[in-house]
Structure 1
Amino acid sequence: MRAIGYLEFARANRRFLGFGFLLSCFSSVGQTYFVGIFGPSIMAEFGLGHGAWGGIYMAGTLLSAAALPFTGRLVDRADLRRYTLGVIALMIGACLAAALVPAVALLVPAVFLLRHSGQGLASHLSQTSMARYFDRSRGKAIALGGLGFAVGEAVFPLAGVAAIAWLGWRGTYLAAAGLCALVLLPAALWLLKGHVQRHTAWVAAAAAAEARPEAARSWSRREVLRDARFWVILPAVTAPSMIVTALFFHHLTLAEDKGWSAAWITGSYGFFAAAGIVAAIVAGPLIDRVGARRLLPGLLAPLALGLALLASFGAPLAAWPYLVAIGLTSGLNATLMPALWAELYGTRHLGGIKALAAAISVFASALGPPLLGLLLDLGVSGETSCWLFVGYCAVATACLLLGLRRRPG
């Protein structure tokens, strides 16, 4: 029945779900797993060390986190087609900036544009759209639209490595700009045909729902900032961004310490992507049935298991269950979080609220790589670092359980 439900839902909403899928897939141009493959080439051309490149990446990411609450909330006010056009234009400009960057001093702005347009706004646009315009089937919508993340994780790094060998790193980002302009832009605008009617129906339904005396009202972003629940659950909801980004940024170093080749660890990323797809597909109907709040306490369990596997085993085959485990948490996180904010705070101001949460997650993702790098530089082994992250997951889960028990306010 679950498969039939998915198929019927996908057929009925194939165009708008395709829009969410496309944006989440092309967000890869600014995601760590894609930007990271350019690191060796950029460091070689500009004479940078690992620490300097990591610092540049962190600075660009932090700037993106600072801007996202302001640019992300515009999705609540602007026509979705115009907002989409602006986001894709920024992605094209970001790819061109990365391809043409002439000096080290301009690497930070280039990284900022990549991170903000890709990881920040494209992801935000996809998830907010899926969460806002579907109510009873919100979980399935977020899961199906979010499959683009897993496809991007599986395709973009491998394609990028091949393109760098053929075109060079600058030529590869020029090609990415061309793909965004010639494929993403026209396809996204075509998939949004008929959205005016969808938005009009949503406005009417939201107004009617909030007019009922028993209805839960939509919170403003200022009210969310005063809600203790939001702050208590943040350590858990930002843990995947911080820890998984740190792991992917330093995967080659961690693999080298275990005697694994770079080709082995990167060639195994398909397990991560496949696990994310399975987690999203399974979580979607469960969200519709029981709600995101009841599923959230299990969010970090697979991540903690994956970290324990990476810390405990040195055989190359251990990379597969490790990547599956952290992929499960990534897939759950991408599906649960947009639904959670809609459940807790309503959908009228969802763009602004999700942009705030996304900005904090981006900030956490910026801290992850230098934090793990600092531990490694201090002589802390990769295995010990993984156990420290397991401890963080345990504390964050305890905070999460406490936060979900609190009353609003």
Structure 2
Amino acid sequence: MNMIYFRLFYSNKKLLFVAILLTFFAGFGKTFLFSLYIPDMIKEFQLSTTGFALIYSIATITSGILVFYLGKLIDQTKIFTYSLMVAIGLVVSCCLLSFSYNLVLLFIAVLGMRLSGQGLMNHTSLTIISKRFKRCRGKALSLAIIGTPLGEAILPLVVAWGVHHYGWRPAILYSSMFLAIVLIPAIFLLKQKNKVIEKFPGTKPKVKTQHSNKKWTIKKLFRDQRFYLVALPVFLLSFLVTTLMFFLVPIAKSKNCSPELIAFAFPFFASGNFIATFFTGNLLDKISGTKVFPYFLWPFAMSIITLLYVNHPYAIFGAMFLAGASVGSGVTLESCMIAEIYGLKSLANLKSVFTSITILSTAIGPLITGILLDAGITFHLIFSVLILFIGLASLLSFKLQDEKIQLSFSKFAPIKTVKKLLIHK
């Protein structure tokens, strides 16, 4: 990390500090933390694994649909008010989960945590940064996203300790209290006027944002072929990482990994995420995102290959590091690509669409994989097919560099896009 990052953070410390906290605490709505509560929840509510997975998937899909509508409100609301409502939503949802004694309250609490945590907190943080920063947008996004790997490295250890010593209900209740004490007061920093300072030596942008004055509606977005070229890899990344996390224990045990070894793999995932986030952010301030975007899924393909073909228990460390690298690059690239291709005028509106895609893929991934496993299909075959999908998504996204496709519209964009890409003269 060069000195520009330190100068950028110091000059915009209040805004970036809140953005980091939002991505950090978004972990309370993500699968990697929910997995620590699930065994005790299943036992207490007398549910089968499939039964809880169904509740979790329906709540996730519902939250994805709600984000589609609620996410764009950030364009119409003050940043402070919107961020505060999202934070309060997560606090209330965590508190409600700790006092849920029937399936209705359980569903509402899980929905609230998935919506406000995984969905709106990341969306709020990255939208604020993408809108406020121009010259150093890539670097600023890298700093904001740092909360994600920090959460992945710290929160599981703290929550696991709390669940072990106090039980899952007190652990969630204490989490909600911690959120209320730390996050909500910090959000009041957004109420102050935070002038963005990003003009430093060596920060002149080499990438120009396109269509910055054009207003994009959802209808126009769905008719734009570039949307599908960006959406497919974004969908695939969330599908892959959620599936890997959901089935990490059985996959790791097939490699003779102990529970302790599996727990120690998460810091490697966070490290890969951390390093790739800063590397990608720095790169995006120098070259166009369309030139980087086709490659961000490649480390995940290498991660899957490592899990499939390397039988040593320590292979899980390398696999998790590579998976984390794809996540770090992908999250940074997604926000930059939307701003670079579609401009800033309708940023929150468009970002809400991609956030919904991400959330829906996290619901579909474990569900489809579970059905295939129940049908007798092996992990090896499932992940081998996913590698082929990574290759296809990567090849298709190279077409984002083609100027001829940049402004083409049609009523049947997905079909015509595939035809143009596969039958290219």
Q: Which residue of 2 aligns with 1:147?
A: 146
Q: Which residue of 1 aligns with 2:4?
A: 5
Matched residue SS, 1:258: coil
Q: Give the counterpart letter for 1:147 in structure 2.
A: I
Structure 1 contact 292–336 (Cα < 8 Å) conserved: yes
Structure 2 contact 232–393 (Cα < 8 Å) conserved: yes
Q: 1:67/1:214 Cα in 2 relative to 1: closer, same or farther (>3 Å)?
A: closer
Q: Which residue of 2 aligns with 1:208?
A: none
Matched residue SS, 1:340: helix
Matched residue SS, 2:334: helix
**Is 1:251 the equivalent of 2:244?**
no
> 1:261 Cα shift?
2.0
Q: Percent same amino acid among aligned pairs?
A: 27
Structure 2 contact 33–156 (Cα < 8 Å) conserved: yes
> 1:113 Cα shift?
0.7
Q: 1:214/1:329 Cα in 2 relative to 1: closer, same or farther (>3 Å)?
A: closer
For residues 346 and 406 of structure 2, what CA distance do their matches in structure 1 show?
20
Structure 2 unmatched runs, 5+: 198-209, 410-425
Matches within 5 A, 1:273-284: 273-284=270-281
Q: 2:291 aligns with which of 291, 294, 316?
A: 294
For residues 16 and 220 of structure 1, what CA distance do their matches in structure 2 show?
28
Structure 2 contact 80–190 (Cα < 8 Å) conserved: no
Q: Give the counterpart letter for 1:367 in structure 2.
A: I
TM norm structure 2: 0.89
Matched residue SS, 1:315: coil
- Which digits, 9 at most, give the CA deviation of each residue in 1:234-286, with x for residues without a partner? 21121110110011011112122222222211221000001101001111111
Q: Give the counterpart letter for 1:235 in structure 2.
A: L
Q: Which residue of 1 aligns with 2:89?
A: 90
For residues 152 and 404 of structure 1, what CA distance do their matches in structure 2 show?
34
Q: Which residue of 1 aligns with 2:264?
A: 267
Deviation larger for 303-312 or 288-297: 288-297
Q: 1:352 aligns with which of 349, 352, 364?
A: 349
For residues 191 and 38 of structure 1, what CA distance do their matches in structure 2 show?
33
Q: 1:215/1:245 Cα in 2 relative to 1: closer, same or farther (>3 Å)?
A: closer
Matched residue SS, 2:285: helix
Structure 1 contact 236–399 (Cα < 8 Å) conserved: no
Q: Which residue of 2 aligns with 1:56?
A: 55
Structure 1 unmatched runs, 5+: 200-212
Structure 2 contact 67–356 (Cα < 8 Å) conserved: yes
> 1:382 Cα shift?
2.0
Q: Which residue of 1 aligns with 2:26?
A: 27
**Is 1:378 the equivalent of 2:375?**
yes
TM norm structure 1: 0.93
For residues 317 and 344 of structure 2, what CA distance do their matches in structure 1 show?
38
Q: Give the counterpart letter for 1:128 in structure 2.
A: T
Structure 1 contact 101–107 (Cα < 8 Å) conserved: yes
> 1:384 Cα shift?
2.3
Q: Give the counterpart letter for 1:400 in structure 2.
A: S
Q: Which residue of 1 aligns with 2:328?
A: 331
> 1:305 Cα shift?
0.6
> 1:215 Cα shift?
6.2
For residues 51 and 7 of structure 1, what CA distance do their matches in structure 2 show?
47
CA RMSD of aligned residues (A): 1.8
Q: 1:261/1:227 Cα in 2 relative to 1: closer, same or farther (>3 Å)?
A: same
Structure 1 contact 150–274 (Cα < 8 Å) conserved: yes
